[in-house]
Amino acid sequence: MSKSLKKFSVFISSFFIFLIHLPFVFAKTIPHKNLTSPVSIGASKVTYSTHDGEVPNSNKVSAYDSLQLNTMGLSKQAFDYAIRGFKSLLAMGKLNNDSIISIVDFSLSSAKKRLFVIDLKNYKVLYNTYVAHGRNSGAEFAEQFSNNPRSNKSSLGFYVTGNTYDGEHGYSLHLEGEEKGINDNAYKRAIVMHCADYVNERYIESKGYIGRSLGCPAIPKQVYKPIINEIKDGSCLFLYSPNQDYISHSIFLKNAS
């Protein structure tokens, strides 16, 4: 074979290889979006996904982490237990409002904003504010709890919010305790959500903690109406404490680690 023919053969081979790889030269890489938005919350699971669909084998991002609830003071255990009970109540058909969950974290000082109202479907914290505990539950911290009438103590556990009414404390919200022997006397005890003058930062500056109720989760006057209107009529409210007696007896937290 002549030298010119060999050169021509090499040129043809090189050009053919170039044509094969040409599409890959101009191809673009499409990055995955961050896994941040919840798309559904059912009776058995909470699912998070991207707008373009979930990436296989991607890491799940929990609502607790994505909403940075730890930086707001809410304990991880309180949130995990709250979601566990929420799912159970939903499966039982108890919740008319499955978009909202409210958590009171009694592991925190009453001088801290320990009420968290979370929109699970739109993925945001709607309210984070102060909330009182019963006067016989403790001073700065709620440490003792009771379901007994006239105990003036808070009752832990899961509640379903009821209807609103105008009473002794003005616009208020009925609460239905869902745990037998733990908080099921709430209606009989008139344990409701209402506003109180003693739930404010001036009281904290004076005493080191907010005032206490007769067992009701009382909240500040500045925000009580929008909060009550947001959570009324069948949403889940969870009053949490790392109290082992409660945790071991709660039907919603049975066998919880």
Mean model confidence pLDDT for the chain: 83
Model confidence at 37, pLDDT cuts 50, 70, 90, reads very low
Higher pLDDT, 41 or 157: 157
Out of 51-55, 57-61, 99-103, 242-246, pick the least confident.
51-55
Model confidence at 209, pLDDT cuts 50, 70, 90, reads very high
Q: Which pLDDT tens digit goes with each residue over 111-143? A: 999 999 999 999 899 999 999 999 999 999 999
Q: Which pLDDT tens digit goes with each residue over 163-179? A: 999 999 999 999 999 99
Q: Domain ranges in the chain?
A: 1-61, 68-249
Query: Which homologous superfamily is 68-249 in?
Result: L,D-transpeptidase catalytic domain-like (2.40.440.10)
Question: How confident is the model over 226-240, as a mean pLDDT?
Answer: 98
245 pLDDT higher than 50: yes
Higher pLDDT, 179 or 34: 179
Model confidence at 13, pLDDT cuts 50, 70, 90, reads low
What pLDDT score does 60 carry? 52
What pLDDT score does 155 carry? 98
- Predicted TM-score (pTM) of the model is 0.77
58 pLDDT higher than 70: no
Contacts of the segment 61-64: beta carbons below 8 A, 24+ positions apart = 61/34, 61/35, 61/36, 63/38, 63/118, 63/120, 63/123
20 pLDDT higher than 80: no
What pLDDT score does 47 carry? 32
Model confidence at 33, pLDDT cuts 50, 70, 90, reads very low
41 pLDDT higher than 60: no
What pLDDT score does 230 carry? 98
What pLDDT score does 62 carry? 83
What pLDDT score does 55 carry? 26
Model confidence at 254, pLDDT cuts 50, 70, 90, reads confident
